[in-house]
Structure 1
Amino acid sequence: MRDMAEFDRQHSQALEGLWFLGDVHAEFRHIARALEKLTKTMSKTPNWLVFLGDIDIDHQPFREVLAPLRQNFPEVKVAFIHGNHDADTYEHWACLHDCGDAMALHGQVVEMDGVRIAGLGGNFLGRIWSPPGEPVFANKAAAMNRGAFPWRDGQKPNPKLHGAIYPDDVKHLASLRADILITHEAPSCHPYGFAALDQLARDMQVVRSFHGHHHDDRSLDYALQRVTLGFDALAVDYCGIKNGLGQVIYAGPKGW
């Protein structure tokens, strides 16, 4: 387990400028309120807004949703992973990924102000892979391209296949190194989490992980399992915001 306190000391300024956003489900007003409050009280803004999935838009491209942010806070950069509801329909998937200069983090490691952030979007689907069970398909291409017969009469593959977690994506990330891992699904410290994500975090030698999906924040309980997990796991609840140190910026529907 890496030294979390030392990592936080070395990267404190960068971590304060990284904001991780829980599931918004097409609600963005709280982000503007949080940014406005910070600029009024501290005369600064975060460097990055990182969405943890379930942005959940299907009638407007993400780049248009972000346009007011670009106008009012042009220095703030945006990154995201997809969640399960971002693959509810093909319209959801297209709108999310029509994202302008926002960065899709799924399946890669990106350095943000000296901190390496890894992204794994989506959720575990039983028809694809539900650890610890064996996977049915290794990757999205195999799941979606099964010949003409399953998709006859102009049908398309189920859009939810876009949002599934695939073994090949996890295997690829496991070969890389990062400081922070963001996922939509939860690690095993959540009652509905997965040990496969614990192992991924350990393989990548991350200090900290953030997840959304379950619309709750059990981070205090997670902290009791930190030594066993081998990393610092944190949840961000519905419309919540935390910075890279795990400090609450906005507490979701419960208010400030």
Structure 2
Amino acid sequence: MKIRVDIIGLKGGVGKTTIALNTALYLSKRYKVLYIDKDLLSMGSLILGFNGLGFNKAIVEGLGNEQYEYKVNNNLTLFKLYSDPVNERELQHKVKGMGEKAERAYVDVVSKGYDVIIVDYGRIFRTNDPLVYDEYEMFKKNFPDYTIAAAGITDAIRNDVTDVVKYFLDTINRIKAKPLAFVINMVPQIGDIQKEINQIVREISEVVKCDILTIPFNEKLVQYANMGEVEEMQKVGKLIERILSNG
């Protein structure tokens, strides 16, 4: 079994990149993993030490795959899509106009026998946004043997949780994805907040038909320290591991 997991949410700063990176690094201890950076600011790529131009710009300018494909360790490869937040829509339009040439370059990266593909969405996943959806559509066309799953990420604010639940359910229904996990991230360990979060979990468990995970706030995680090693940040990875073991 092979699986692609889309890490999605409604706003920045809730930990999508932190969770995506930790999940990819944790799974790479045992599986062959591709981390696709679809954040316009390419924060995941920067954290991993890669400064290539990105797929769209490299393809338009006729440059090699060293500008968007980077070996992080023996089992983990980074695929950076973007590099120019201001002009990325124009680049995306040009890439789409290149047709099969661009598609072949994309397939060449993704078709290397990955067990797990983790996709870090900096932008909101919307089917009417070419910057988000074109790559997903190309993936579905060329790699139908992968199970498509999604993990929704939110902070610990009640209204945000409610909004992300609606968005998460709508998105997985639109793209026919398997709900893998719903994550309430960076939960402050103060006062009665944990009690409130436990109540929210009970409420949303009636509509979110997947594992609901809570991750406490940890300053080291915000600083991207010990990635892949901290137990709290291995929760999504362990869910994926369980699916692969049973698959």
- TM (normalized to structure 1)? 0.34
The structure showing larger relative contact order (alpha-carbon pairs under 8 Å, at least 6 residues apart) is 2
